[in-house]
Amino acid sequence: MYITLRKYRVNGSYEDLRKAVETGLMPILKASPGFQAHWLMKCNDDDVAGLTLFDTKEHAEAALEKTLGWVANYARQVLVLPPNAMFGAEVEWFV
């Protein structure tokens, strides 16, 4: 599995961002090969994080261009760009 994690500064309403992710980004991610899950996390009043899980690094990289295009075109009103980004393979799940 491969995870991408991006932290954004919010420049608007978290609720507006949540709705935009649900109606705009999620259909793009769900149509992407290897997509497993996406989480939107409100870190505090000013920051959010998006964590996305894919089967492979290649799948994540293929979806990255679509995701960044969506962010640049549709989420710019509620996010400060660019995000802080982290990537990782070797994901371990501890319960």
Per-residue pLDDT tens for 60-85? 989 988 888 888 887 777 777 777 76
Q: Hey, what are 83's tokens?
A: 């995000």
Asked whether residue 61 is assigned to any structural domain, the reply reads yes
Q: What is the predicted pLDDT for the residue at 36? A: 95
Strand 35-42 with 2-10, pairing: unpaired
Asked whether residue 52 is assigned to any structural domain, the reply reads yes
pLDDT tens, position by position, 21-66? 999 999 999 999 999 999 999 988 888 988 999 999 899 989 988 8
Q: What is the predicted pLDDT for the residue at 6? A: 85
Asked whether residue 46 is assigned to any structural domain, the reply reads yes
Binning the chain into helix, strand and coil, the percentages to the nearest 5 are: 40, 35, 25
DSSP 48-68: EEEEEEESSHHHHHHHHHHHH
CA distance 48 to 91: 22
Query: 55 with 36: CB under 8 angstroms?
Result: yes
Asked whether residue 94 is assigned to any structural domain, the reply reads no
The CATH number that applies at residue 42 is 3.30.70.100
pTM: 0.81
Asked whether residue 95 is assigned to any structural domain, the reply reads no
